[in-house]
Structure 1
Amino acid sequence: MAKTQPTDHYARDAGHRAEPATLTVLTRVRELIVTGKIAAGTRLAAETIAKEQGISRTPVRSALAVLTAEGLASYHINRGYTVREINLRDILDAIETRAVLEAKGCGLSVDYGWTLPEFDRLCTAIDEGAALIAGGKWSEEIERGWYQSNRDFHSLIVRVSRNNALRNAIRMTLVYPVFGDIARLCPAVARYVPQRHRNIPDVPPEHVIASQSDHEEILEAIRSEEAERAEQLMLAHVLKSKDRLAAIATRR
């Protein structure tokens, strides 16, 4: 299963090979935007952000350029950078596009082959998620931990596809939170979601349990070097998020 070709040693998937200061501000501002803590239409002044972060304006400008490319901000000559409005249709379209791209990346990862360290890291991400669910309890902290393992799982598969064009295209679809339940954390979705779906449950939610099961099935397809099956499983897995959100919004 594992090949011995060179690997990128888990370069951090931050939008590009950014300088540390750019990466820090990019991650922070992106999180504030997708969770609605910075409202649509808000001006993103490089000087203000730089002062708040205690850094120079150069990395802030770089981060704002990335956010614009990702579709989270827009730039106008007279107004500078502002937060772009994201609606439910944008979210559903982004998930659908990401599903197709990630599925292809999953198949390519099998075609190109996994090194043993890479495959071990994938197993670790899945094991970490399984352990959190096995505890039988749920909270905001546990949810965040599970979604971190979920992000590790997905981003590693995409990196092992060895396809930078595909990786860049996927980054353009991440216009929603990746560190928690979209239905609860994303303002563009939450306003369509009944309150009962936005509360943190006391036990692991069904959609998380199902997602964990999908991860384990995808892992086995990768282990067995079944590229076509891995691709199909990943497509169905990501589309479940779209189907869930669409169903919740329809039943409101």
Structure 2
Amino acid sequence: MSQSTADRIYEILRERIICGAVTPGIALRQDEIARELGVSKIPVREALLKLEADGFVTFRKNRGATVRDLSSDEILNLIEIRAALECRALELAIPNMIDADYETAAEILETYAGTTQAAGLSALNLKFHQALYEPCGNHILLRLISDVQQRIGPALRAFVTQTSGLHRPHAEHREILAACRAQDIGRAVSLLRDHIKTTRKEVAARLRRAAQEDSPAAFGT
């Protein structure tokens, strides 16, 4: 009974962290969570310990559990993992693509072109990439990609989008889609790899500047 309750609490808290309802550095107080969810503190602590094991939460002396922030190295490593997983997904997806897939991706890009807010661009960027990979048919691979995106979180995705800007990614998205339409797997995968690699370089530079200024990068600003 306690374990199933702990699992339920884990899912609730994990979703709040992933969607950005609770942000890095925010304390997760056991008594407040227990009172809100109508449970004892025991399953809450079990859930928090599982979140810590999965890298979402940190326990600190005299502070209890707080939402864990990603280090610069972790951010860059996650972008590298993205490249490996997403390039493979695209390689598998292209032979299965039909006209409806191209049209869906093109419609997303049209909306993207008319958007200026970082959060909106970030959401559309994610949607575009998901539309390209969905035809791959490998649900395990798609789940791994989703897990990486969830680990990155909405605030960091907005930061990455803001760092990359609007015009460069949009032009590259169009090139990738054109290669997909042409069923040119090699070119499409190469363009996607370069697209993510360039984003990683831009984010690395932004993180270096933030470190030199001795202030944290303002994710989501």
TM-score (norm. length: structure 2):
0.68
Q: 2:185 aligns with which of 227, 237, 245?
A: 227
Q: What corresponds to 2:126 in structure 1?
A: 151
Q: What corresponds to 2:167 in structure 1?
A: 209
Q: What corresponds to 2:114 in structure 1?
A: 131
Q: Does residue 87 of the first structure (1) align with residue 71 of the second (2)?
A: yes
Q: What corresponds to 2:197 in structure 1?
A: 239
Q: Does residue 28 of the first structure (1) align with residue 16 of the second (2)?
A: yes
Matching residue's letter, 2:20: L
Aligned length: 192
Q: Distance in 2 between matches of 1:92 and 1:147?
A: 17
Contact 1:43–1:83, Cα closer than 8 Å, also in 2: yes
Once the two structures are superposed, residues 67-104 of structure 1 have per-residue CA deviations (whole angstroms, 9 ceiling, x without a partner) of: 668632479xxxx9864452111111010111111111
TM-score (norm. length: structure 1):
0.61
Q: Distance in 2 between matches of 1:70 and 1:33?
A: 18
Q: Distance in 2 between matches of 1:64 and 1:125?
A: 37
Q: What corresponds to 1:164 in structure 2?
A: 139
How much does 1:220 deviate? Answer: 0.3
Q: Where is the helix percentage greater, Structure 1 or Structure 2? A: 2
Q: Distance in 1 between matches of 2:34 and 2:199?
A: 35
How much does 1:130 deviate? Answer: 1.3
How much does 1:107 deviate? Answer: 1.4
Contact 1:26–1:64, Cα closer than 8 Å, also in 2: no
Q: Distance in 2 between matches of 1:166 and 1:206?
A: 26
Structure 1 gaps of 5+ residues are 1-21, 133-137, 185-199
Superposition RMSD on alpha carbons, in Å? 3.8
Q: Distance in 1 between matches of 2:164 and 2:71?
A: 25
How much does 1:152 deviate? Answer: 0.5
* Cα distance change of structure 1 residues 220 and 143 upon mapping to structure 2, 3 Å threshold: same
How much does 1:227 deviate? Answer: 1.1
Contact 2:17–2:23, Cα closer than 8 Å, also in 1: no
Structure 2 gaps of 5+ residues are 1-9, 213-221
Matching residue's letter, 1:92: L
Which fold has the larger relative contact order, with Cα–Cα distance below 8 Å and residues 6 or more apart in sequence? 1
**Aligned ranges 1:176-215 → 2 under 5 Å:** 176-178=152-154, 180-182=157-159, 207-215=165-173
Matching residue's letter, 2:94: V
Matching residue's letter, 2:159: I
How much does 1:147 deviate? Answer: 1.6
How much does 1:43 deviate? Answer: 4.1
Q: 2:91 aligns with which of 82, 91, 107?
A: 107
Once the two structures are superposed, residues 10-31 of structure 1 have per-residue CA deviations (whole angstroms, 9 ceiling, x without a partner) of: xxxxxxxxxxxx9886543313
Larger radius of gyration: 2
SS in structure 2 at match of 1:172: helix
